[in-house]
Structure 1
Amino acid sequence: MRALLTSSGITNGAIGAALVELLGRPVAESSALVIPTALHPFPGGPEMAYRALSPESRTRFGALGWKSLGILELTALPSIDPDVWTPAVRAADALLVCGGDPLFLAGWMRRSGLAGLLPTMRPEAVYVGVSAGSIAAASTFVETYTEPPHGNDGPWESEAVEFEGGVDRILVKGQGAGLVDFAVIPHLENPGHPDASLANAEKWAARIPAPTYAIDDDSAVAVADGDVRVVSEGQWRLFA
């Protein structure tokens, strides 16, 4: 399975062109499923999940002109016969995985069976991650919280870390889907995500046992047939 891991979705022409290249066909000839699961732990989660399909969404998932577009809600899948939902996932040309809480998302990827299904997807299918959706694609990832996370499946471990500016955070290391053999830190140097400053990103990356890409909202990491490349109209950093 191919991958396009972003901070905020299809935010510029370079990332849009990379998506078409990975699909191997125009978006208008491709089908996609949106996975909004990571949004649910937040206040307003249902509204945010609805907006994920809106043409006005900043991810642009709903504005790209897909041949067909549906929703795959991971929290519902354990109560449904896999024979019902698995064919739809296998038939999709793209899985559009929204941002939110990566620890919550990764837990439901395992519990739903999606994490086990991903390695068996068609080689030309594309996993498109946004923020938490990109973070959870790794084998091991790190995320910051203001307090210890609750309601999340393990395995995970945490430690207190002082970030730039004397800000205290709970740094949580979790287990992702293992789709890629590197990690992603999204929203590099975004004022709305102060934890992802370059200095702080270096502290994150030091705790991840894999190469780690810190990418801003105009950058993405594209993976096809074992080849990894950065697509960017902004800034990014690789921590080896």
Structure 2
Amino acid sequence: MRLYLSSFRSGDQPEQMLALLGRPARSGEVAVIANAIDDRPEPERRTAVEREFRALAELGLRPVELDLRMLFGCSPAQATAALAEFSLVWVRGGNVFVLRQALALSGADQALIKLLQEDALVYAGYSAAACVLAPDLHGLEHCDDPSAVQKAYAEQARYDGLALLDYAVVPHVHSPGHPETKVLGEVADRYRADGIPHRTLRDGQAIVINGAS
């Protein structure tokens, strides 16, 4: 399993993400999943996606959007086939509950678990992209509004994560200038007090997982 989980954007050492690829993407393109911001107005969403495109292009990658909404109602096999076209998926931050619901409605949650366990692609991204891999999302409602799921998809938020990690990730901690640093510091404090396994990240940091290392 290969993961690059950044606190904010590509972090201070994006070459660590590129090293996980180890080979060119099969299609020459990498998938950008931006569904964590599906609750935002479309012009704002499009501007945000274009920013991700520019940043990834600067790293020598060829980004294309994979909008999970186009896979809603598909089978896990169909979602697996769509994701398997890429050697890397880049998941943008935003609302973790909106992202979780998009992954579920599209079948991409089970597809990603399968492909990552088979070491068929690299999963990379920041903020909510890292948070959604935890076993459980409780506690993050203090930062991200679960009602955004109703706004985006007319669904209720779910609190189960993908459980690809056995701990929660708390981004933006001790990150002056980030608007969520205070509230996420409080989330980390609650996890610590309750004995919930977690790791904190400052903006610029990333968790890099490559197999057993």
For the superposition of Structure 1 and Structure 2, which TM-score range results when normalised by the shorter chain? Answer: 0.7 to 0.9
Q: Which of 114, 121, 131 is 1:125 aligned to?
A: 121
Q: Structure 2, unaligned stretches of length 5 or more? A: none
Q: Which residue number in structure 2 is paired with residue 25 of structure 1?
A: 23
1:8–1:217 Cα contact (<8 Å) kept: yes
Which structure's CA Rg is the greater one? 1
Q: Which residue number in structure 2 is paired with residue 236 of structure 1?
A: none
TM-score scaled by length of structure 1: 0.71
Q: Structure 1, unaligned stretches of length 5 or more? A: 156-173, 228-240
Q: Which residue number in structure 1 is paired with residue 141 of structure 2?
A: 144
Q: Which residue number in structure 1 is paired with residue 44 of structure 2?
A: 47
Aligned in 2, Cα 1:54/1:201: closer, same or farther, shift over 3 Å? same
Q: Which residue number in structure 2 is paired with residue 116 of structure 1?
A: 110
User: Displacement of 1:26 after TM fit?
Assistant: 6.2
1:54–1:63 Cα contact (<8 Å) kept: no
- TM-superposition CA deviations, 1:51-108 (whole Å, max 9, x none): 3233686xx2343221x42211122212457666542311211111111110111122
In terms of fraction of residues, the more strand-rich structure is: 1
Aligned in 2, Cα 1:32/1:186: closer, same or farther, shift over 3 Å? same
1:99–1:131 Cα contact (<8 Å) kept: yes
Q: Which residue number in structure 2 is paired with residue 193 of structure 1?
A: 180
2:8–2:126 Cα contact (<8 Å) kept: yes
Aligned in 2, Cα 1:198/1:209: closer, same or farther, shift over 3 Å? closer
Q: Which residue number in structure 2 is paired with residue 181 of structure 1?
A: 166
Identity of aligned residues (%): 23
Compute the RMSD of aligned alpha carbons.
3.0
Q: Which has the higher contact order (CA 8 A, sep 6+)?
A: 2
1:185–1:196 Cα contact (<8 Å) kept: no
Q: Which residue number in structure 2 is paired with residue 217 of structure 1?
A: 203
TM-score scaled by length of structure 2: 0.79
